[in-house]
Amino acid sequence: MDLTGLFAISLGAILTNNFIFAQFLGICPFLGVSKKSDTAVGMGLAVTFVMGLASAFCYGVNIILVKLGLEYMQTVAFILVIASLVQFVEMFLKKAIPTLYTALGVYLPLITTNCAVLGVALLNVQNNYNFIESVVYGITGGLGFLLAIFLFANVRERVQFSDYPKSFEGFPIALVTAGLMALAFMGFSGLQVW
């Protein structure tokens, strides 16, 4: 296995091509669940987990689809796989870790409609990643999401107490903050693995 290649994928997914700040995937939960840093971390972890699992399962599903010549059914098949995975994770967490389950609450089923999850499955196919690369991309993409949402939640807790124009209250100021963070993340774009 080519370790440098995997490292390059991870670095790209976490920093240079961060799902939130560079690819605009998963903005809804990013803005919705970032009011407090501890729920943000819970959400980030759940998303990482589902993204890793979804990459693995969708890789298998894609092989079957290609064999049957049904590539055009990708979108439908992937979203069904993801929806059932999320349902499964939900049932598992309810039994095994009830505290995390209640903390995540309504956001857990919402992972189904998180575009980062479907996005990672589709990007894996587009980039022709093999099984290990797909899973690594899924997990590190999730870690990138976790990093972004954690940093953002912390900044947002501070922003609440600062002065800004009245009409910027709520989402607008959050978006401007996210924009400035995206600017900071752009600084990573020079990073390369030789």
Partner 1 sequence: MNIKKQLKEGLITQNPVLVQLLGMCSAMAISTSISNGLGMGVSVTIILTLSNIIIALLRKIIPNEVRIACYIVVIAGFVTIVDLMLQAFLPDIAASLGVFIPLIVVNCIILGRAEAFASKNTVAAAAVDGICQGIGYTVVLLIMCTVRELLGNGTLMGYQIMPESYTPALMMVLPVGGFICLGVLIAVMQWALNRPKKEKEGK
The counts of H helices and E strands in the chain are 9, 0
Q: How many residues bind to partner 1 according to rule CB under 8 A?
A: 46
Applying CB under 8 A, which of residues 28, 66, 97, 191 lies at the interface with partner 1?
A: 28
Residue 12 binding partner 1, by CB under 8 A: no
Applying CB under 8 A, which of residues 64, 91, 97, 175 lies at the interface with partner 1?
A: 175
Q: Give yes or no for a contact between 57 and 135, defined as CB atoms under 8 angstroms apart.
A: no
Applying CB under 8 A, which of residues 15, 47, 123, 135 lies at the interface with partner 1?
A: 123
Q: Which of residues 136-155 bind partner 1 (CB under 8 A)?
A: none
In terms of CB distance, is 99 or 128 closer to partner 1?
A: 128
Site string for partner 1, 32-71 (x = CB under 8 A): ----------------------------------------
Q: Which two tokens stand for residue 116?
A: 């980062």
Query: What is the smallest separation between the CB atom of 124 and partner 1, expressed in angstroms?
Result: 11
- Which pairs with CB-CB distance under 8 Å and at least 24 residues apart come from 4-9? 4/193, 5/133, 6/132, 6/133, 6/136, 7/193, 8/193, 9/129, 9/133, 9/136, 9/137, 9/140
Query: What is the smallest separation between the CB atom of 92 and partner 1, expressed in angstroms?
Result: 19
* Size (the chain), residues: 194
User: For residues 75-92, b (16+ Cβ closer than 10 Å) or e, as one string?
Assistant: eebbbebbeebbeebbee
Applying CB under 8 A, which of residues 7, 38, 63, 75 lies at the interface with partner 1?
A: 75
Exposed / middle / buried, residue 147 (Cβ in 10 Å: 0-12, 13-18, 19+): middle
Q: Which residues form the interface with partner 1 (CB under 8 A)?
A: 21-28, 31, 72-76, 79-80, 83, 109, 112-115, 117-119, 122-123, 126, 165-176, 178-180, 182-183, 186
